[in-house]
Amino acid sequence: MSKKSDLVSAISNELKLRKEEITEPIETIYFGGGTPSLLELDELNEIFDSIYRNYLVIDNPEVTLESNPDDLNFVKIAQFKTTPINRFSIGIQSFFDEDLRLMNRAHDANEALNSIKMVQDAGFENITIDLIYGGQTTSDEIWKKNLEIALDLQVPHISSYALTVEPKTILAHQIEQNLLEDVDEAKQERQFKTLVETLKSNNFIHYEISNFGKEGFFSQHNSNYWKGKPYLGVGPSAHSYDGKNRSWNLANNSLYLKNLHENKLANEVEVLSENDRFNELVMIRLRTIYGLDELEIKANFPKEFYTDFLEELKPHLENETVEYSNGIYRITDKGKFLADGIASSLFRI
């Protein structure tokens, strides 16, 4: 038995062992965290069988598969069409080779284009792609062209993020050695504004800071997460949330497999403090068009939480980076590029 088959069996077993943790019907299923598109058809079906055998699943749930452009081909996509999968998330990042080389991606620009077309040709309409802006090789003109290509392809959902430099990466090393300039925050802000203006003018709804969808194509899975609904994550490194506690599985594949082989869960649990739950509520809600409801704070936290929140919020209301309407606080267009900083300024420490 291959390691991949062992892992699929362990995931199926974990689903069985944890079935009591989810009492509500399953609305969304998301295959993510790497390259799930590398799974063979029988391996995918084994996981689906375990889900449907152990959980109540609604009719026509949103079922998303993450994939890299270089992992997709006509045969594999046709096989996916025979499963419950009805949504693709493709890690495009850019339609230009110089950007992809900078990000150390395995695919090239042609593979980026072809992967979308192949998925569409197979009959999948619900597609989201990732695009990265603000990198050293991404000029304003290249960024506009990236967006034009995505629009021409009629992709109905786009997730877009500023390039970040993670420690101990090739990119970080190149910057440290002065082989490459550091990221330009002014350029990132400029390209973020181009992103927002371009997609809004093409009937995309900016429903979360980094996410844009046509009507009817919002990510139901992510929206449930942003609304604070519990979720179950299975497999190595997967995270779960039950409304009060967070848990995560061991990242070590061998330990994960060993534990599940012995019918033991391979996870750790963190009981969230009141401050933690408040900070998460603020961070998540302010990033979305749903906003932060003052009644939710008042109903779930001590009185001083809301009093302190209002005090910390004053400068953001005065600067018009946050607005208040009908009991809901939302970040304005002016404040969207600064969303994370605004939210963190409201945290309880």
Beta bridge partners of 64: 30, 87
Report the DSSP beta bridge partners of residue 331.
322
Closest Cα to residue 127, out of 105, 97, 159, 79? 159
pLDDT given for residue 161 in this prediction = 97
pLDDT at 264 (0 to 100) = 96
CATH of 274-345, one of 1.20.1530.20, 3.30.565.10, 1.10.10.920, 2.60.40.10: 1.10.10.920
Q: Which helix (H) or strand (E) holds 294?
A: helix 294-300
- Which CATH number is associated with domain 25-226? 3.30.750.200
Question: Please, what is the average pLDDT of the chain?
Answer: 95
pLDDT tens-place string over residues 285-307:
999 999 999 999 999 999 999 99
pLDDT given for residue 259 in this prediction: 96
**170-219 residue pLDDT tens:** 888 788 887 788 899 999 999 999 999 999 999 999 999 999 999 999 99
* Domain range summary for the chain, segments of one domain joined by +: 25-226, 274-345
Residue 269's pLDDT is 94
For residue 1, the model assigns a pLDDT of: 44
* Amino acid of residue 123: G
Fold equal for 25-226 and 274-345: no
User: In the 8-state DSSP scheme, what is residue 169?
Assistant: S
Confidence check: pLDDT of 2 > 80: no
Q: Which two tokens stand for residue 79?
A: 């096989």
> What average pLDDT does this structure show over 245-265?
95
